């Protein structure tokens, strides 16, 4: 790790997938240490409405509301990069992981099934 820092490379952070319900609260906190010092990555969304008639745009209205979609929370204290997933995707990811582990245990083919989620 010291060599990485001397070479100008930051040490790799552990990546943990967490459901949004564990992160998105008021005030926003790290899901691990509950601290309030972190970096978030994501994007803003703004609602809109378009009316298209016969392929031509007739009306476009932009909504007043903006929404913050947080995809990643990086906590320097925990040294963890939290990948934030909606609750349904998180549940399905873990169900898939558990089913793969059961198949591997029953067939004796350890490590033969990929446990990484699809891109």
pLDDT of residue 82: 93
For the stretch 78-113, pLDDT in tens is 999 999 888 898 899 889 989 999 998 888 876 655
2 has pLDDT over 70: no
Give 20-74 as a DSSP string: GGGT--SS---TTT--S--EEEEEEEEEEEEEEETTEEEEEEEEEEEEEEEEEEE
Question: What mean pLDDT is reported for the chain?
Answer: 82
63 has pLDDT over 90: no
pTM for the model stands at: 0.61
């Amino acid at each position: 790790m010291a060599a990485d820092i001397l070479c100008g490379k930051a040490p790799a952070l552990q990546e943990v997938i967490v459901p949004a319900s564990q992160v998105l609260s008021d005030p926003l906190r790290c899901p691990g240490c509950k601290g309030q010092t972190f970096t978030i990555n994501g994007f803003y969304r703004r609602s809109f409405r378009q009316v298209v008639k016969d392929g031509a745009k007739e009306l476009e209205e932009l909504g007043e509301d903006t929404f913050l979609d947080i995809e990643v929370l990086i906590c320097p204290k925990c040294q963890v990069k939290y990948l934030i997933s909606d609750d349904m995707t998180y549940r399905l990811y873990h169900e898939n992981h558990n089913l793969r582990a059961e198949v591997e245990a029953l067939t004796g083919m350890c490590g033969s099934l990929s446990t990484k989620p699809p891109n």
